[in-house]
Amino acid sequence: MNATSLPADDATRSASLYRAVWRWHFYAGLLVLPFMILLAVTGGLYLFRDELDGLWHRDLKQVVVRDAPRQAPSEWIDATLIARPGTALKLISPATPNASAEVVVKTSDGARRSVYVDPYDGRVLGELADRGTVMWLVRRLHSLAEFGTITNGIIEIVGGWSILLVGTGFYLWWPRRQSGGVVTVRGTPAKRVFWRDMHAVTGAFAGLAIGFMSLSGMPWSLVWGDKVNELANSGNYGYPAGVYTAVPMSDEHLAHANGPTAWSLEQAKLPESTPASAQPIGIDRAAAIVDGLGISPGYTLSLPSGPTGVYSASVYPDDLSLQRVIHLDQYSGNALIDMSYADYGPAAKAMEWGINVHMGQEFGLANQLFMLALCLATILMSVSAGVMWWKRRPAGSLGIPPAPQDRSVMRGLVAMMAVVGLIFPLVGASLLVMLALDFLFARRRAPVSRPA
pLDDT 10s digits, 243-285: 444 455 555 556 556 556 665 566 666 788 888 778 999 999 9
Percent of the chain clearing pLDDT 70 (strictly above): 86
* Maximum Cα–Cα distance across the chain: 95
What is the DSSP pairing of strand 124-129 with strand 249-253?
Answer: unpaired
Q: Report domain extents, the chain.
A: 8-47+141-220+375-443, 65-132, 239-355
Output b/e per residue, 81-110; b: 16+ Cβ within 10 A.
eebbebebbbbbbbeeeebbbbbbbeeeee
**What pLDDT sits at residue 237?**
45
Give the CATH architecture of domain 65-132. Roll (3.10)
**How many angstroms separate the CA atoms of 317 and 297, rounded?**
9
**How many angstroms separate the CA atoms of 238 and 287, rounded?**
27
**What pLDDT sits at residue 8?**
45
**How many angstroms separate the CA atoms of 94 and 364, rounded?**
20
**How many angstroms separate the CA atoms of 343 and 238, rounded?**
9
**How many angstroms separate the CA atoms of 214 and 162, rounded?**
7
**How many angstroms separate the CA atoms of 27 and 340, rounded?**
44
Contact 8, 405 (CB under 8 A): yes
Give the Cβ contact number of residue 317 at 10 Å: 16
Q: State phi, psi for 351 to the nearest 5 degrees.
A: -65, -45
Query: Which tens digit of pLDDT belongs to each residue from 52-71?
Result: 999 999 999 999 999 999 99
**How many angstroms separate the CA atoms of 112 and 339, rounded?**
28
Q: What global pTM score does this model have?
A: 0.85
Helix %, strand %, coil % for the chain, to 5?
55, 10, 35
**What pLDDT sits at residue 235?**
47
Angle (CA) 368-373-379 rounded to 5° is 130
Task: Give the chain's residues under pLDDT 50.
Answer: 1-8, 235-246, 446-450
